[in-house]
Amino acid sequence: MKVLANDGISQSGIDALQAAGFEVNTTTVAQEQLVNYINEHQINVLLVRSATKVRKDIIDGCSSLKIIGRGGVGMDNIDVEYAKEKGINVINTPAASSHSVAELVFAHLYGLARYLHNANRDMPLEGDSRFKDLKKAYAKGTELKGKTIGILGFGRIGQATAKVAIGSGMNVIVYDPFIEEANLELDFFDGQKLNFNIKTISKDSVLKQSDFITLHVPAQKDYVIGANEFAMMKEGVILVNAARGGVIDEVALVNSIENGKVARAALDVFEKEPQPEVQLLMNPALSLTPHTGAATNEAQDRIGTELASQIIDILK
């Protein structure tokens, strides 16, 4: 059996697959060459992350495929139902990267709250000549403790984010159209555990009450946050999108920054990946990362071993 990990896979995943007798290929094949490559090498398992798209042309054109695997949660880059109709197994790793994304959200939140994204730009250029001016400019930070964080989308990643927020002393309010409540178990270094029951509320209530807002929703047709939603938010809200590009209206976001409704925001995902709008890249109110929510060594190890386990269960 042959596996093509077109967007890469951790060494732990490779080791597990090879130990089970699979041949693992980590060549990165260009999108337009995938069908030919898969057929030429008779690939049985195609593993992708977010870069490679698996549409009908690949599904129809590659008769050797038995499994399509997504290293991560969202599968909007795969025609899932069509693949299943054709008898191909489609797998993903919904739990493996949840905590990594949650930590990135808070890396952005802490940075935005204390203007670190601006200070890290200015200090190398002017730290020696304008130290006192910069100190004064960035001396009005805020603490997260005691503030209200609104979480839109309360699946695995939303719940992982809520756990970090609780540990940071924040008041957590959440909205999810499919979940009424969730029980969160927080594990501590000394073996202690605490349980928190979180009930969801309306989207409007979350928007109106939150000092900080973070999105953890799948890709969808319409914006989750557009001009109307921004209008409901508190003045000076701080926002993070580490979910999917296209769930926030980026034009409305820039407008809301300019009129003061949004103080600062963070984007890990963009409507036009991999070429985000220049207006976003140059905006000093934005903290930006290049879609690295799940990009930790620990998450990639978990993703690799989880994919390997599922593949072995299906094909062995």
Write out pLDDT tens, residues 222-265. Answer: 999 999 999 999 999 999 999 999 999 999 999 999 999 999 99
Give the rounded percent of residues in the chain with a pLDDT score beyond 70.
100
Q: Please tell me which residue in 244, 250, 264, 302 is annotated as part of the active site.
A: 244
Q: Please tell me which residue in 23, 103, 273, 277 is annotated as part of the active site.
A: 273
* Model pLDDT, residue 50: 85
**Would you state the structure tokens that stand for residue 203, as one six-digit string?**
């989207």
Q: Name the band, by pLDDT with cuts 50, 70 and 90, for residue 40.
A: very high
pLDDT tens digits for 152-183? 999 999 999 999 999 999 999 999 999 999 99
Q: Please tell me which residue in 216, 291, 302, 306 is annotated as part of the active site.
A: 291
| Claim: this prediction has a pTM higher than 0.85 | yes
Residue 73 has pLDDT above 90, yes or no: no
| Mean pLDDT of the residues in the chain | 97
Task: Please state, in angstroms and rounded to a whole number, the distance separating the CA atoms of residues 37 and 59.
Answer: 13
Show the domains of the chain with their CATH numbers.
Answer: 2-93+297-315 (3.40.50.720), 98-288 (3.40.50.720)
Rounded mean pLDDT, 134-146 = 97
- In order of 13, 106, 135, 282, 309, the CA distances from 5 in angstroms are 10, 30, 48, 34, 15
Known active-site residue 181: no
- In order of 182, 189, 191, 193, 247, the CA distances from 186 in angstroms are 13, 10, 10, 5, 29
- Do residues 105 and 247 touch, judged by C-beta distance below 8 A? no
* Model pLDDT, residue 95: 87
